[in-house]
Amino acid sequence: KRVLVLNGPNLNLLGTREPGIYGAATLKDVEHLCASTGKELGLSVDFRQTNYEGEMVTWIQDARKTADAILINPAAYSHTSVAILDALKAVGLPAIEVHLSNIHQREPFRHHSYVSSVAYAVICGLGVTGYRLALEALAEKLNS
Ligand code: DQA
């Protein structure tokens, strides 16, 4: 089975970006973690990052043909994007939302995520471990 892993804006700066909040791992590290976890679980993992909302929407639409499930960290678009929510609704694939930080412990504007209403699970506050756990949960769902 195929999982599309999508990362939103500014996640390309992981490792140098507010490390006290987001940790020391770089996006490459997260990609390696997802690749090795995918391998263990027998999943093929397509890992991407974009700083553009429209590109994210197009990738989600295309997932209809190329993926069985989606792991998404929409980053700041979580809190603003009805377009990403609608794209996820349109494709109807099982999706897990992941945030590195615990968004509920942070500024009030981060407490609401549009994506959470369509995701069947949300993981936040576990850093990069959240990506590994989300892949494990998706593997279990896809194989059941
Ligand atoms: C984030 C949390 C968001 O509020 C923020 O805009 C991000 C990253 C996280 O992974 O903790 O860019 O999604």
pLDDT category, 36, cuts 50, 70, 90?
very high
Q: Can you tell me which atom of ligand 1 is nearest the CA of 74? A: 13
CB contact set of 57 (below 8 Å; sequence gap of 6+): 83, 84, 87
Q: Residue 144's pLDDT band (boundaries 50, 70, 90)? A: confident
| CATH code at 2-142 | 3.40.50.9100
Enzyme catalytic residues: 22, 99
Q: Is 81 in the pocket of ligand 1 (CB under 6 A)?
A: no
Give percent above pLDDT 70 in the chain.
Answer: 100
For the chain, the domains span 2-142
Q: What is the pLDDT confidence band of residue 124, given thresholds at 50, 70 and 90?
A: very high
Taking the whole predicted model, whether its pTM rises above 0.80 is answered as yes
Enumerate helices (H) and strands (E) in the chain, giving the number of each.
5, 5
Q: Are strands 44-49 and 2-7 parallel, antiparallel or unpaired?
A: parallel
Q: pLDDT band at residue 15, thresholds of 50, 70 and 90?
A: very high
Mean pLDDT of 96-125: 98
115 lines ligand 1 (CB under 6 A): no
Mean pLDDT of the region 48-64: 98
Q: Is the ipTM of this complex over 0.95?
A: yes
Q: Is the confidence at residue 56, as pLDDT, over 90?
A: yes
User: So what's the pLDDT on residue 131?
Assistant: 98
Instruction: Point out the ligand 1 atom lying closest to the alpha carbon of residue 75.
Output: 13
- Nearest protein Cα to ligand 1, atom 6: 76
Whether 76 lines ligand 1, by a CB cut-off of 6 Å, is yes
Ligand 1 centre from 144 Cα, in Å?
Answer: 30
Whether the Cβ atoms of residue 85 and residue 118 lie closer than 8 Å to each other: yes
CB of 72 closer than 6 A to ligand 1?
A: no
Torsion, Cα 23 28 34 38, to 10 degrees, reads -160
- Chain segment 72-90, per-residue pLDDT in tens: 999 999 999 999 999 999 9
Which residue minimizes the CA distance to atom 7 of ligand 1?
Answer: 75
